[in-house]
């Protein structure tokens, strides 16, 4: 089941509308109580009516506050998940050897918003192809990086959209 997520401005607007409706209900009750003749019995009924209305609106406000807190917590959790997901990708194609053309070798950086992830490299030769995967933390790696891998990481950290280099 998907949770509804509202922006803080939308939640503020909902709270203000609830307060406004509470004020309208109180004014309406006061106006109707005045029509009852203003007797002591009418005043007692008015007090009980107002108390009931105000308690009802107080409970609604508490429910709204709990909902706002829950939505805020959900929003924070989703933001952390988004920041930790792979969103920054760069692909760099090149010829690893002079005698092998077609730009079949590549380095591909797959990083999250913190610069953490992996850089994958495929070196294509005449007789064989080798594939390497190196962990990346904060845009650097504990493994030796080739110039192409460093460039792929730099490009991935420079933007949120995938880039492809063919030349």
Question: Which of 51-65, 69-83, 110-124 ranks highest by mean pLDDT?
Answer: 110-124
Please report the pLDDT score of residue 163 as a whole number. 47
Distance in Å from the first CA to the final CA of the chain: 47
Place of tokens 């850089």: 119
If one compares 166 and 135, the residue with the highest pLDDT of the two is 135
Q: Which of 66-70, 85-89, 104-108, 160-164 has the lowest mean pLDDT?
A: 160-164
Q: Quote the mean pLDDT of the chain.
A: 82
Please report the pLDDT score of residue 135 as a whole number. 95
Torsion of CA 7, 12, 17, 19, to 10 degrees: 150
Does the pLDDT at position 164 exceed 70?
Answer: no
Q: Mean pLDDT, to the nearest integer, of 90-113? A: 90
Please report the pLDDT score of residue 6 as a whole number. 72
Q: Which of 67-71, 78-82, 156-160 has the lowest mean pLDDT?
A: 156-160
Does the pLDDT at position 105 exceed 90?
Answer: yes
Q: What is the rounded CA–CA span in Å between residue 25 and residue 27?
A: 5
Please report the pLDDT score of residue 4 as a whole number. 67
Cβ distance 86 to 62 under 8 Å? Answer: no
The predicted-structure confidence for 15-34, as pLDDT tens digits, reads as follows: 888 888 888 887 777 777 65
Residue-wise burial string across 9-39, b where 16 or more C-beta atoms lie within 10 A, e elsewhere: eebeeeeeeeeeebeebeeebeeebeeeeee
Backbone angles phi, psi at 4, to 5 degrees: -80, 135
């Amino acid at each position: 089941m998907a949770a509804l997520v509202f922006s803080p401005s939308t939640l503020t607007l909902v709270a203000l509308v609830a307060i406004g409706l509470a004020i309208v209900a109180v004014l309406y009750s006061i106006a109707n109580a005045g029509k009852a003749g203003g007797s002591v019995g009418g005043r007692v009924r008015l007090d009980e009516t107002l108390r009931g209305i105000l308690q009802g609106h107080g409970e609604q406000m508490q429910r709204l506050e709990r909902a706002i807190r829950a939505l805020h917590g959900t929003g924070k959790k989703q933001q952390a998940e988004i920041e930790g997901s792979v969103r920054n990708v760069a692909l760099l194609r090149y010829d690893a050897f002079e005698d092998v053309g077609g730009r079949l070798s590549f380095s591909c950086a797959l990083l999250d918003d913190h610069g953490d992830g992996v850089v994958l490299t495929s070196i294509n030769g005449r007789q064989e192809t080798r594939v390497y995967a190196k962990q990346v933390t904060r845009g650097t790696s504990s493994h030796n990086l080739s110039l192409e891998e460093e460039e792929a990481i730099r490009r991935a950290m420079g933007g949120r959209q995938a880039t492809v280099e063919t030349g």
